[in-house]
Each structure stands twice: as structure tokens, then as C-alpha cells.
A and B are shown apart, each in its own frame.
Chain A
Amino acid sequence: MIEVLINSALQLVLLLLLAPLLSGAIKTLKARLQMRRGPGILQPYRDILKLLRKGMVIPETASWIFSAAPYMVFATATLVGLMIPMTTTHAPFSLFGGVLAVVYLLALGRFFLALGGLDTGSSFGGLGSSREMTISAIAEPAMMLAIFTVALGANSTNLSEMAKVAVGQSWRFLAPSQMLAFAALFIVLIAETGRIPVDNPATHLELTMIHEAMILEYSGPYLALIEWGASIKQLVLMTLLVNTFFPFGLSSDWTLQTIGVGLAFYLAKLLMLACMIVLVETTNAKLRLFRVPELLMVAFILGALALISTFLF
């Protein structure tokens, strides 16, 4: 019991602190690749701190749903973070919700955020909500298929169990089904975290925005919660990818040494995945909205192929 509490507390701290850092790292890497200096790796912390110390403007048309949404986004993302193994195979809350709960909790946060976007009565909010719900809806089957492939291999939807099985066969990611599932999930990751080529996190042109349009009316601490929540969600999804497919460094022991090694490996893996994302973001242009389904269809087919290839290999 105490162990679970300590584990939860540690993972919570790691989650809250690492998420903005990861966002900052991705931004800096991207800037470097584009021969810019970039805002610095710590910028997301400064942004959040700044926003927390701003006054808030609530639209006149908004109801309590508008105010509830940031809390839901933040709480769901953080709770999901506790269900995912980060540095060891023990995720503190893995017993209370597996990968299905992760997907559906993130959907709960998105549900409220979309309501918040529509609550203002602004067309931009509606536009963002509509697009966000659409894209997530078409991303969902691909995501589930890829996840099922991994879950069926591990005979469990419990993320700690899945990680343990993965640790037992570290080189499993070379199997075609795993590679295909990884590719499918990578595409879904890009769609879910709102990155190029699906959405542009840096855009400020209303008509092309998705996530940014939905949260256009948020300000001050609410915006801080949403941004923080979004970066936690990104960290969680990236963790899901690196730890289920590349379980290197994950240990089921609970000593200072294994945690240290685990943390080092974990950060390295995250950095690699961040590099991949940056590479994709820099070498691609944003797709037209109605091209995005085709990309996600590719992900779905990859997921289906992954599933079928479990028969073959």
C-alpha cells in the first residue's frame, strides 16, 4: 500500500515535470533542424508559470462547462499517466485501468474540451471541436487495432503486464507484426497530439487550426491547465509507444539502481522518438483536412496487417 503511494507520488512528479520539458525539447530540436535558435528547452515551464499568473477572461456566453473542461483535460491526462509504466514495469494504477481505460479517459478529456470549444459560441471554437472530434474518431480504430496486436501478444490489456511480457522478449520489436503496429501507432500519435502533417501546433491562422482553435477563448490559469494537460497527454502517448515496443531498461525490480537505469533509458528512448517526430514535422507540410483521413486509413491498414501477420510469424 505504502509502496503504491510512493510509486504514485514519484510517477506523478515525474509526469508533471517531464511533460513540459519534452515539449520544450521537441520545439528546440525542431528549431535546430530548421537552423533557428528556438525559444529554449525550458520555455514551456515559463509559459505555464506565466499563464498561471495572468488574469482570466471568461467569455460572456460561456457556462460552467467552459470552466470544467480544463480540469477534465488535466485530470484525465494525469490519471492516464499513472496507468502507464514509465521507468519500471510497475505503473502505480495499472490495476485500475489498462490500455482501454487509457484510450477512453483521453476521450473523456477531449469530449469536455470539445464542449468547452463550442460553449463560447465562437465559430472558431466550433470549428476546432468539430475537426478534433472528427480526426480522433477516425484515428480510434487504427489505434485500437495496433493496441490489440500488442495486447493479444501479451494476453493482457494491463499495461504493466504488457510491459513485463515485452521485457521478457526485448527483441520482439523486430517481428513484422510489432513493426507494423508501431508504424500504425506512430501515425496515430501524430494525429492525437496535433502535430504536422495533421495539425500545426505553432499555427496562428484560425482557419487551419484544430486544437488551437478549440482553445482560442481560454486564458490565464485555465489555458495553463490545458497546455500542461496536452503536454502530459503527449508524454503519455509517447511513453506508451516507447515502453510497449522497446522495453529496454525497464525492470520489474524496485531498487534505486534499477530506477536510475530505467530513467536513463526512458529519457533516451523518449529523445529518440522526439527526434523521429521532429524529422516528420520538418520534412512534411501540413495536410489538407480532407487528406488526413487517408493518412489515418494507412494507419488502419497497417494495424490490420500487423494483426494478420501475427498468424504468419
Chain B
Amino acid sequence: MNMLSVSTGFALSVAAYAAGAFGTLACWQKPALARRMCCSFALTGAVLGGFTSVLAILRGTPAVWSVPSGIPLFAFSFSYDALAGFFNLALAIPVAAVSIYSFGYLKGFEGKRNIGLFAFLFNLLLLSLTVVFTAANAFLFLIAWEVMALAAYGLVIFYHEDRETRRAGLLYIIMAHVDAGCLLLGFALLINSTGSAEFSTFRPLAAQLNGGQQTAAFVLFFLGFAIKAGVIPFHIWLPAAHPVAPSNVSALLSGIVIKTGIYGMARIFLDVLGGVPSWAGLLVLIVGVVSAVLGVLYALMEHDLKRLLAYHSIENIGIILMGLGAALIFRVAGHPTLAAVALIAAMFHTLNHAIFKSLLFLGAGSVLHSTGTRNMEEMGGLIRPMPVTAFCFLIGAVAISGLPPLNGFVSEWLTYQTLLAGFGAIPGLTRILFPLAGSMLALTGALAAACFVKAFAITFLALPRGTESRNAHEAPRSMLTGMGWLTLACAVLGLGVTWFLPVFDAMTEQLLGQRVSSHLVSGHGLVLSAGMRTGGTVSPLVIAVGLLVLTLPAAFLVAIGVRRFGRKRGPVWDCGLPRLSEENEYTATAFSKALRMIFSVLYKPRREIQAVFDVSPYFPKEIRFESEIEPTFEKRLYAPLQEFIFRVSSRMRTIQAGSIHAYLAYIFVTLVLLLLFGVRK
């Protein structure tokens, strides 16, 4: 009965997305109807999908069903287990919010853009995501993976009139196919040694792979999933593609689509392969550290609000990989309980990032919607025309900076505890890496806080810096509702973490054979503890209440003071100059100047100042200032690679002379070679 309800829920949710995709495409000529259909079907799919995931998590054992397709190796096999359930939950929460948000957001498309087409791609993306998380057949997985990449590509280039958008789309689709290629090879390796494409047949045989095969499988899958997740150095497509998409799509891309990489790693490394060698775990951990630190450092230099957020996705993927890498290491080292805690840290951060990153992108979308610019240097003072958006963005900023008592803090806290525990659990000198990774996590967190001080303050505070931001208006109610829902989720998952933890039990039991949530909760369900070995405890709820209670006497003192001695508004101290204007304000570039200087080895900043003056250089009439940092990876890694590919391609042109006889000869030679191979086997 229960299994039936999981499969029914899954089918209904997929059907809702399919109806949203094809039904809306059919009525593309009626924009208002198409808009409502798109959003309501997506919302229905998300709600059904969310309920299904909860059912599956409660159920514990996987719901499995398979429909043969008649094609060899390919079957419509699904396995809705706890891991699938968790990722479907992480999909459902932001999708529900984004759907509500889109009711208002897509209104701007009416009469200008084809909403039917948008709805088709949007719902198709959601559908393929749901299938990716549940597929139990390698080919089904790859097909869903490819559909996801193509739907996302269509959405990324939705504003295709822009050259920048098309270029970003091209970069994205190339990288997406490199990663799909890696995965195809990886699966081919497994299929070759098992003779079947079902995940269930991989499991028993995975242990019998020899060392070389194991290494190859790990490298191929890691490359494939790391590119999708936007891990440094495979990240260059992410800050290009995510910002140019419509904002509701950016929210999904950063919130959940890149998490398919994390899902894939968890699925293949922990479930299908049943563990990877410890050097592989260390590699994941180190790559995570590098992504986290470099991601946030690049984010700091951005003044395009959406690009800034995209770089933060790289950072957060890095934090997730730290937890995941630790889990892989602990598993091999024979510490399943610790591995379970590490996995919870990674997965919790995955969910949290899905929530606060969608929230922030939706907030940026409202700002873009209202001011028409992504450039923070033209914003400012938006907290007055857009108070609700500003509040939601602030909560998202506090959460993503990992500050207590919100959800980002809790998952980073768990990651710290995991890393500290690693020091005690792993023998040998490698254990020194764990506290070092912890200190890099601290650097990441502090830089993220600096970056979000900049992002929030330059966008929403002080005086408006451009006419658009002076005439800004609050977003419509549906958009605010979508953001409000995610804001609430940030608070609930932070304050109520001890009640939420049992959700992870089914997953950790499935992957590691451990249920640890009850060890992690103490003090009448108020206190989160790290469980074993390192005794650390924290209670976000008590922290929140404590902050409120301690604010009261302070507010009392201020209130007395204000009542007796007054309070008035006055101009800002201007050093005696005639009234400050927005031109005197600190800018995003200025804010990050100190860090740009300190990390100049990385950034290699270049600046150019030209002043025009009549009499004295002290009184310039006009100043032109230009500043940029060197995109190291693009320049040092990808530009040579591109050049190499072009060089090889131009060599290959000689054999593509356009002569049909030559082509026929190639085909003949190929056939003969293949036949030879076939016969020899």
C-alpha cells in the first residue's frame, strides 16, 4: 500500500510536470493562461513531489518498480529510496517557492516572450530532475541527465538576443556534454563488467572491480559530476550561464540543478560503488576546500549581483564537498557513525543551500525586475521602496554567511564538528588536513560574510546611485510570497534543526547502515550535539531566544534615553562640504578594494585612471576609472585548451576536403576495421 502510494505520488508529480510542459506549450498563444498553467502545474508537481518524498523517507525501504522497454540494457527502472526522497524534497521546497514567485514574475513576459515555450522548458527541467533523482537504470539516468541539460540550455539562452547570453549558453552546453561524456564512459565501464545497466546489478559487482577499473570509474564519475556541480576548476560555465537566465530559472539552476552533481556523487560513490579508496575521499575534500575558498574570493570581486550569487554557489558546493569527502574517508577508515554525521552535514548543507540560494536569486530577480540592472554600482537605497524584498534578502544573506541562528550556521557547524572529529579518527599525518580544512572553512565563512555585507549594503542601503533605483517599486505579492516561504524555511530549518534531523536517518541507514539522529540531539530536543568523540553542542533556538531576551534591556535603556532626551534626524557628517550625495558613497568596488590588494597574487588586478583637467590636476573635470581582475582559470587553463582544440581541428580539416569519394573511403575503412575488431573478439 505504502509502496503504491510512493509510486503513485511520483507518477502524479511527473504527470503534473508533463502536463505543465506539453499542455502549456499547446496554449502558447494565450499568454495569461499559459502563465497560470505553467506556474500552477509546476506548483502542483512540487507539492505532490514533496509529499511523495516525505512518504518515501518515512517508509525507509526503497520503492522499486521497473517497466521493460524492449531495448536491450534499457528499462524504465526507478528506485525511490531515501536518498532519492531527500533530493526530491530538496527539489520540491525551492520549486514550490519559485512557482509561486513565477506567477508574478512571468507577467513581464506577456506579450513579449513566448510563455508557452518557457513553460515547456521549465516544466521539462523539473520533470527531468525528478527522474534523475529516481532513475535506477544507467541509460534512463543518462537520458534524463541529457534532457535536463538541454532544458536548462533552452532556459539559459531564453534572452537569446544578447550576445553575452548566447556565448554563456554555448559554454554551458559544451561543458554539459563533456560531463555527460564522462558519465557515459563511467557507466560503460560498469556495464562492461556487469553486462547490465541496472544500478541494482552494479552494487554486488562493484566490489569486484580491480584497482585500475576502480580508479578509472572514480575519475570518470568524479569529473562528470564535478563539472555539473561547478567545482573549481570546472566552474567557468557557472558564473557565465546562471546570471543570464531569467531570475526564477537562475534560482533553480543554482539551487537544485547543480546539486545533481552532488546527488550523483552520493549515489555512485556511496551507494552503487559502495565506497571509494581513501585517496579519492581526500581528493574530494581538497577539491571542496579549493572550490570554497576560490569561489568566495571571486564572488567578492563581482559587482554584478547575479554573478556574485553564482560564484557563491561554487563556494557552497565546496563546503558540501568537504562534508562528503569526509564521509567517504570515514567510510573507508571504518568509522560508519562518523561517516553518517559527515554525510548529514553535507546533505543538510545541500538542502540549505538550495533554499537560501533560491531565495537570494529570487531577491536579485525582484531587484532586477524593479530596476532593470544587475550592476550593484547603480543600485542603493532599495530598502525603502522594497522593504519586504530587502528583509528576505537580508535573511538569505545571514543564512548563506553561516551566521547563527539560521540554517546555514547549523550545517556549517556540523561540517566543522565532522572535520574536528576526523583529526581524532584518522591515523597518520593526513589527519592534519582536517583542522586545516576547518580553518579554510572559517576563512570561507568570514569572506562570505564580507561579501554579503557588500551585496546587501550596496544594493539595499544608503542612497540610490541611479535613476532606476530611485524609481524602484516593490515586487508584486506573488513574488513576495515565494520569497517569504523560503525565508521561513531558512528560519525553521535553523531553529528547528533538532526536530528535522530524523529525516536523515533513512538515508544514512541506507548508505552507511547507521541511524545517528538520536545521538545528535540532547537536552530535551533543544540541543544539537556532534555526537561522538568531539563533544560539542549548540542550540540555535536558545541562541535566537537569548538574543531576543538580551535585546530587551538594551531596548529599554534606549527607549528611556529617547523619551527623555529626544531623537532627531540629521544630515550625515560631510567634512564641511556642501551636503553629501550618492557620488560620495562607498561602492562595491571600493568595498572589496582591501581584499583585492591583499589577494592580488590571485586576482592580478589591473586599473586605469584617466583624468581630464583644465588648470591643476587637483581639480579634475572628468575622471574615468577602470578596474578589472584577471580571470585566471579562463586565461591560464581554458584559453590554451581552446587554442589546442582549434589547432587540432584545423589540422583535421585537411581530411575533410568535401570530396564524397574520400568520405566513402573513410566509411569503408572504418567498417573494415570494426569488422576486424568484431571478429577478433
Contacts and interface: CB of A to CB of B under 8 A. Distances in A.
Interface stretch (B51-59, B268-276, B438-446, B503-511): B438-446
Contacts of A122: 572-574, 580, 584
B328 interface: no
Contacts of A311: 429, 432
A63 B383 contact: yes
Interface stretch (A68-76, A194-202, A237-245, A274-282): A68-76
Given A101-B404, A137-B450, 18 more contacts: A52-B561, A54-B561, A57-B569, A58-B568, A59-B569, A104-B402, A104-B404, A107-B403, A111-B449, A118-B586, A121-B580, A121-B584, A130-B594, A145-B439, A157-B530, A158-B536, A290-B597, A311-B429
Interface stretch (A28-36, A166-174, A219-227, A265-273): A219-227
B490 to A, nearest CB: 14
A118 B446 contact: no
A152 B453 contact: no
Contacts of B69: none
B546 A79 contact: yes
B645 interface: no
Interface string B402-436: 11100001000100110010011000010010011
A226 B548 CA distance: 17
A123 B585 contact: yes
A197 to B, nearest CB: 16
Interface stretch (B123-131, B165-173, B229-237, B454-462): B454-462
Interface of A: 52-61, 63-65, 70-72, 74-76, 78-79, 82, 93, 95-98, 100-101, 103-105, 107-108, 110-111, 114-115, 118-127, 129-131, 133-134, 136-145, 148-149, 151-152, 155-158, 161, 206, 216-217, 220-222, 224-225, 289-290, 293, 300, 303-304, 307-308, 311
Nearest to B429: A311
Contact of A137 (B443, B557, B564): B443
B562 interface: yes
Contacts of B441: 144
Given A57-B569, A107-B446, A96 B594 contact: no
A101 B543 contact: yes
B537 A79 contact: no
9 contacts: A57-B570, A61-B463, A78-B550, A79-B543, A107-B446, A130-B592, A133-B446, A138-B446, A140-B442
A161 B533 CA distance: 13
B679 interface: no
Contacts of B446: 107, 133, 136-141
A198 to B, nearest CB: 13
A155 B565 contact: no
Contacts of A161: 535
Contact of A100 (B416, B572, B592): B416
A308 to B, nearest CB: 7
Contacts of B429: 311
Interface in B549-564: 550-551, 554-555, 557-558, 560-562, 564
A114 B456 CA distance: 11
A155 B536 CA distance: 9
Contacts of B591: 118, 126, 129-130
Contact of B565 (A55, A119, A145, A206): A55
B211 interface: no
B461 A137 contact: no
Contacts of B536: 98, 100, 151, 156-158
A119 B653 CA distance: 60
